[in-house]
Each structure stands twice: as structure tokens, then as C-alpha cells.
Structure 1
Amino acid sequence: MKKSVIILNFIYNFLKYFELLKQLVVRDLKVKYRHSILGILWSILNPLLSMVVISIVFSNLFRFDIDNFAVYFMSGSLMFSFFSEATSVAMTSVIGGASLISKVYIPKYLFPLSKCLSSFVHFVLSFVALFIIMLITGININYTIFAIPLVFTLILVFSIGISLILSSVAVFFRDMTHLYSVLTMMMMYMTPIFYPASIVPEKFKFIHDYNPLYYYVLSFREIVLEQRLPSLDLIMICSAMSVTALLIGLFIFYKRQDKFILHL
């Protein structure tokens, strides 16, 4: 199937099954906060509590020379946490939807897509916590904040592309779920979330150069910390990675999806 046909088919099914997709996202959110007293408020409280703990440990004990460490940490942590959560839950989404897939026809990509979108809702709500910290720490809010939706959209598209790849691989290779947990832990340390990128020795700079998440985190931090718009080169890099990941994800998923039923 040609890539252009795959993309058109994806758009057509997205519009046709939009209501079903919305119901899947709502279901995921309800399951996530079921039996929770504070419910959706945990989307705000969790990053705030994490920030307090990490700030105490790293800004006092390790004393990294980072201005406004709380915002620095939270901006990186939120971006990484979204990507990690979205791709991890999406990876097993096709396997989890086996009972539904075997009974009725439904575009199978809706399962990883719904997981990414429900994680994205949680991510956007978590941004409220960062916004509160920005106000408390005296960071001025200017026009650059309107560029945040662009960065959020780019990392969402990137996460969807990676999720399509992972979910299609996991159907045939179940051990992928275990391997990916190790990979995400490695990526966490490769991404300057709680340490400054400047401390990385020159010979290890490739760790950041070939880490896609570094560019999304850097774009976000330029907006919230530096209060300037990300450079055009940085936006182009992020856009290229997002589009490439989505196209590859769609291609792999569509090539493999007809064989899913034999392995579910």
C-alpha cells in the first residue's frame, strides 16, 4: 500500500470513527481515575509533589547550578513523562483490545491513538501545575506562551508515531514491553531533565544530539524559562522528527495489522 493511500485511509477512518475514538479516550480517563478520591486533581498534584522531592534532592544535595530549578525540572519532567506514559500504555493497547477486535470491525490504530490522546489530556492538565510554579517563582508570562500548543502538538504527533510502531511490534514480540521499560529508563537519564546539559562531556554530546526528546524539551524550556520563541531550526527539527515518526508508524502498522488477529 502506497504511503499516500495509507495517509488518506488514516484521515478517512479518523473522521469516520471520531465519535468512537472520543468514547475510547473518555473510557481511558474514567478508568485511570476510578476509585480515586481526588480524581483528576492528581494530574496537578502529582507533578507538584514530585517537583518538591526532586528540588530538595538535586538543588540542595547535589547543587546543580541551574536557575529556577523547579521550573527547569518540571518542564523536562512533564514532557518526558507524557512521552513515556503515552507510548508505554499504547504499546499494549492492541493486545488489550483483542476481545473487541475479534468480534467487530474497528480500525485497529484507534487503540494506540486513544491511549496517546488520553495521556495527552493528562499531560495538558499537568501543565497547570507548572503554570502555578511559574507564577510562584516570579517568571513573567508573555506572548511566547502561545507557542506552547505547537510544541505540545509536535510531541503528541511524535508519540503517536512511536506508539504505532511499538503496538504493532508488541503483538508479535510480547517481550517488547519489558525491553521498553529499560529503554525508557535509559532515555530518562539521556535527557537533561534534572541536570544541566552543560555538564555532559564533549565526547558524550552525541547522547543529546541523537536523543529526539532533547529537542522537544529544549523547545519547551526556551518558551517557559528563556521566554523566547524556539528557533526556526529547532522547530524544523522537531517537526521533521514528528512527521517522520508518524509516517513510519503508519506504514509499519498498516503492513502488519492484518496479521494481528493470528497472534492475539
Structure 2
Amino acid sequence: MSAYISNLKKYQPLLYELVARDVKIKYRKSVLGVLWTILNPLLMMVILSVVFSNLMRFDVENYSLYILGGQILFTFYNEATSGAMTSILGNASLIKKVYIPKYLFVVSRIASSSINIMSSFCAMIIVMLCTRTELHFTMFLSVIPIFYLIVFSLGVGLILAALTVKFRDVMHLYSVFLTGLMYLTPIIYPMSMLPNWVRFIVNLNPLTWMVEMFRDVMIYNTIPSCTEFIVSLVVSFATLLLGLWIFYKQQDEFILNL
């Protein structure tokens, strides 16, 4: 772990360049550019809230904010892990030419996605102000579930990046997995409507804990329980350690499979 941290400090300028490159490539030739990081969650919130509030008729207070809170976190996870998964393959030509700590490419994808989640967070504040939703002091605690999510996504991203170099099928399988994961995360539906056995399965999803914690502090002025904090903390850092271990074991063979 100490070697990772020391290399991260040593190659910090390169990391900044990689993050800037990722952001520029994503919004290249786009008229609105980075403004899409705010517009995307707002437009999706409008569509989902109109469709599901009329079709499903969920009895949820501040349903538009409820959807937006879940959507922001899941979209980040989707974007961050999907980008991290192909980060080594996408930089194969650079990796073959010069020595660069390979995990930097994964970290840069997570970092660039983190910029987007901050912009989406601003979009949620805008919606809360426009709908005259009361702003609570607990909103400052929102950095905790976001931090947990970033750590968890980094761990998953390292695992996916290491596996994808050797097994290209992972990219196709993961896209299917994300579809299922979206429905196993309480984004559009409240947990209260689920039968007990379904609720048990949904609670096995780490994203569920982080999404619910984020909504509690942002919308409902509720401080999450110690159990929520501890479970999210343990799962996030356990996933990160597992990701670092798998990546470390596989990285020397990357060059043979690129």
C-alpha cells in the first residue's frame, strides 16, 4: 500500500494530465461541454419522475429528488467502473512504450468521474432550491457516502481492469451485470414496497446502503445509523484492498495480453 501511495505522489502531475485528457475527450466537439454533467441528471430526473410517478404511482415524498439522489450515485458508479475497466486496454500503446504505474490509468478514470458527481451534486442543490425544499445541516454529511462510493468504485475498477486485459468477455458480461444491478438498487422504487425476501436481496447490494445513506442526509434530514456507516466503510475498503491485490498480482502479465 505504501508503494502505491509513494508512486501516486511521484506521478501526481501525470495523473492530473490523464484526468484532464479524459474530461477533454469526453466533451470534445460538444457545444455545451461540461455543462452536460449538470444537464444529464436533470433531464433524466424529469423523464423518470414523470414516467414512474404516473405509471407506478409510488407514494414517495419529494419523488423527483428521490430519483435524482439514487441516479447520481448509480450513474457515477456505472461511468467510473466502466471507464476503469477499459483503462489499461485504452492506453496499451503508451504502456508498451514507457514505464508508468499502470494503476494510474484506473485512478484517472475514477477521478474524472468524480468531477462529474460533484457537478451532479450541484444539480441536485439547484433542484432543491427551485422546488423550495428545506436545506438541512445533515447535507454536509453527504461527503461520507460519496467518499465510500468512490473508494468502492476504485476497488471494483481495479478488479475489472485486471480481468479485462486477460478476458475481453468481461466487458460484455459487465454491461449485462450493470443492467441487473440498476434494478437491484433502489433508484426508482422505495424499499418499503418490496417483499421481505426481495428486500433482503437488495440489501446485499453495497450500492443500496450508500444510496439510502445519501438520501437520508440530503433529503430527509436523518443521520444514518452506525450500522450503515460501518457496513459501507468495511465493504468499500475491503473491495479496494481486494482490487489492489488482484491488480498487483496481474499487472506484470498485462504486456503479454495487450
The TM-score, its normalising length taken from structure 1, stands at 0.96
Counterpart amino acid of 2:84?
Answer: A
Counterpart amino acid of 1:224?
Answer: M
Q: How do residues 8-47 of structure 1 correspond to structure 2 at under 5 angstroms?
A: 8-47=2-41
How far 1:207 sits from its partner (Å)? 1.7
**Conservation of the 8 A alpha-carbon contact between 2:136 and 2:218:** no
Task: State the match for 1:182 in structure 2.
Answer: 176
Give the root-mean-square deviation of aligned CA atoms. Answer: 0.9
Task: State the match for 2:147 in structure 1.
Answer: 153
Write the distance in 1 (CA, Å) between the matches of 2:144 and 2:198. Answer: 30
Task: State the match for 1:164 in structure 2.
Answer: 158
Counterpart amino acid of 1:118?
Answer: S
Q: How do residues 97-246 of structure 1 correspond to structure 2 at under 5 angstroms?
A: 97-246=91-240
Q: How many aligned positions are there?
A: 258
The TM-score, its normalising length taken from structure 2, stands at 0.98
Task: State the match for 1:4 in structure 2.
Answer: none
1:61 aligns with 2:49: no
Counterpart amino acid of 2:185?
Answer: T
How far 1:205 sits from its partner (Å)? 2.1
Write the distance in 2 (CA, Å) between the matches of 1:122 and 1:103. Answer: 31
How far 1:142 sits from its partner (Å)? 2.2
How far 1:132 sits from its partner (Å)? 1.0
Give the match's secondary structure for 2:97. Answer: coil
Residue deviations 1:220-261, cap 9 Å, x none?
010112112222221111111111011000000000000000
How far 1:185 sits from its partner (Å)? 0.5
1:76 aligns with 2:33: no
Residue deviations 1:201-223, cap 9 Å, x none?
11222222210100000110101
Write the distance in 2 (CA, Å) between the matches of 1:115 and 1:222. Answer: 28
Counterpart amino acid of 1:215?
Answer: W
Give the match's secondary structure for 2:9. Answer: helix
Counterpart amino acid of 1:143?
Answer: F
Residue deviations 1:78-131, cap 9 Å, x none?
000100110001101001111011000000001111001101101111111111
Residue deviations 1:168-209, cap 9 Å, x none?
000000010000000010000001100111121112222222
Give the match's secondary structure for 1:205. Answer: helix
1:251 aligns with 2:245: yes
How far 1:149 sits from its partner (Å)? 1.5
How far 1:146 sits from its partner (Å)? 1.2
How far 1:152 sits from its partner (Å)? 1.1
Unaligned runs of 5+ in 1: 1-6
Unaligned runs of 5+ in 2: none
* Larger CA deviation: 195-204 vs 210-219: 195-204
